[in-house]
Amino acid sequence: MDSRQNIKRLLTLGLILLSCLVLFFAQGFLSSFNIRILNLAAIFVILGASMNLVLGFTGMFSLGHAGFMCVGAYVSAILTMSPASKELIYYMEPIIPPLANVHWPVFPAIVMAGVVAAFFGFLIGFPALRLRDDYLAIATLGFGEIIRIIVTNTITITNGSLGLKDIPSIKSLWIYWGFAIATIWILKQLINSSWGYAFKAIRDNEIAAEAMGIDVFKHKLLSFTVGAFFAGLAGALMGHLITSVDPTMFRFLFTFQILLIIVLGGLGSLTGSVIAGVVVTVSMEFLRFVEQPINLFGLIIPGIPGMRMVIFSLLLLMVILFYRQGLMGTREFNWDWILDKLGVARRKERGVA
Contact residues: another protein, CB under 8 A = 31-33, 36-37, 40, 85, 88-89, 91-92, 149, 152-153, 160-163, 165-166, 169, 204, 238, 241-249, 283, 285-286, 288-289, 291, 303, 305-306, 309, 318, 322-323, 325, 330
* CB 35, CB 27: distance < 8 Å: yes
Q: At closest approach, how far in Å is the CB of 155 from another protein?
A: 8
Q: Which is nearer to another protein, 34 or 346 (CB)?
A: 34
Altogether, the residues listed in the chain come to a count of: 353
CB of residue 126 to another protein, shortest distance in Å: 27
Which CB, 2 or 322, lies closer to another protein?
Answer: 322
Q: How far is the CB of 113 from another protein (least distance, A)?
A: 17
Buried b (16+ CB within 10 A) or exposed e, 52-70: bbbbbbbbbbbbbbbbbbb
Dihedral sign from CA coordinates of 269, 270, 275, 276: positive
Smallest gap from Cβ 35 to another protein, in A, equals: 9
Taking phi first (over 0 means left), then psi (-120 to 50 degrees means alpha), and beta for anything else, what does residue 270 get? alpha
Q: Which 3 state secondary structure label does DSSP give 28?
A: helix
Nearest Cα neighbor of 152 from 83, 251, 82, 65 is: 251
Q: Cβ of 24: how many Cβ atoms within 10 Å?
A: 12
**Residue 306 Cβ vs another protein, minimum distance, rounded to whole Å:** 4
Name the residue nearer to another protein (CB basis): 66 or 222. 66
Q: Which C-beta is closer to another protein: that of 145 or that of 210?
A: 145
| 30 versus 186: smaller Cβ distance to another protein | 30
- The least distance separating another protein from the CB of residue 352, rounded to whole angstroms, comes to 31
Residue 297 beta carbon to another protein: minimum distance, rounded to whole angstroms: 14
Q: Closest separation between CB of residue 238 and another protein, Å? A: 7
Q: What is the 3-state secondary structure (H, E, C) of 250-306?
A: HCHHHHHHHHHHHHHHCCCCHHHHHHHHHHHHHHHHHHHHHHCCEEECCEEECCCCC
- Other CB atoms closer than 10 Å to residue 114's CB: what's the count? 28
d(CA 76, CA 234): 11
Q: Which lies closer to another protein via its Cβ, residue 157 or residue 162?
A: 162
H runs (alpha helix) in 129-215: 133-153, 155-158, 173-191, 194-204, 206-211
Which of residues 213 and 293 has its CB atom nearest to another protein in the complex? 293
For the purposes of burial, counting CB atoms within 10 Å of the CB of 176, is it exposed (0-12), middle (13-18) or buried (19 or more)? buried
Closest to another protein by CB, 7 or 142: 142
